[in-house]
Amino acid sequence: MQGYDNPQYWENKYSSADHIDEWYYSYQQLKSQIIHYFKQTDTVLCVGNGTSTFPIELYNEVKSELVISTDISAIATQQMQVHASDCVKFQVDDALNMNQKDQFFDIVFDKGCFDALSTSENRDDVIKKFVSEIQRVLKQNGKYIMISHGKPYTRLGYFGKQWDVQIIQISERAPSGERAFAYVCSLISNKNNM
């Protein structure tokens, strides 16, 4: 069985369906608890977005300066290209080796990418690399907002002293029946050492 950390899993998933797929929660379900973190002047990266409409709905409401949505799946990215505009862009990108500028984004938003990568056999190394990449692309005082089913004791150990982490339990249950958490991780020091 292919795992969520395998790029081929996602190509197969998206090649068999041409539809919007909201992992965990839709924009409307999350909006009341996280929208206040986003501003018009922000540059936002939605990492591991798949075919979620979250970046489009975020832009339509907040009008952030730029929203870039990335996914490892070329098929998912191609399906989302029809929604692209001057301010909302869709790109194929590897979350573990991002083709994004250093210290460029005000916010990195993740709705399940961390969780997918945490299924890897080399989970600790993979997640450390992922968090390091997020730290690299975030501006000083930027925020990494992660929506995750992982309990705090399984997530907080990946964030060192350069992060200030606020945990919010999502009030609405996901389609799976579980409740997830929003981890709002503020980068207080951008010294890229984990």
Domain ranges in the chain?
7-16+39-187
Q: Do 132 and 108 touch, CB atoms closer than 8 A?
A: no
The CATH code that applies to domain 7-16+39-187 is 3.40.50.150
Distances (CA, A) of 192 to 129, 154, 158, 185: 11, 22, 13, 15
Distances (CA, A) of 191 to 37, 125, 158, 185: 23, 19, 15, 15
User: Which of these, 51, 55, 58, 70, lies nearest to 134 by C-alpha position?
Assistant: 70
Instruction: Calculate the CA dihedral of residues 166, 177, 113, 42 and round it to 10 degrees.
Output: -50
- Give residue 1's pLDDT: 35
Q: What is the pLDDT of residues 20-43, one digit of tens each?
A: 667 788 899 999 999 999 999 999
Report the percent of the chain where pLDDT is more than 70: 87
Q: What is the pLDDT of residues 130-185, one digit of tens each?
A: 999 999 999 999 999 999 999 999 999 999 899 999 999 998 887 778 889 999 99
Task: Specify the range with the lowest mean pLDDT, choosing from 70-74, 142-146, 188-192.
Answer: 188-192
CA–centroid distance for 2 within its chain? 21
Q: CA-CA distance, 140 to 105, in Å (whole number)?
A: 9
Q: CA-CA distance, 12 to 33, in Å (whole number)?
A: 33
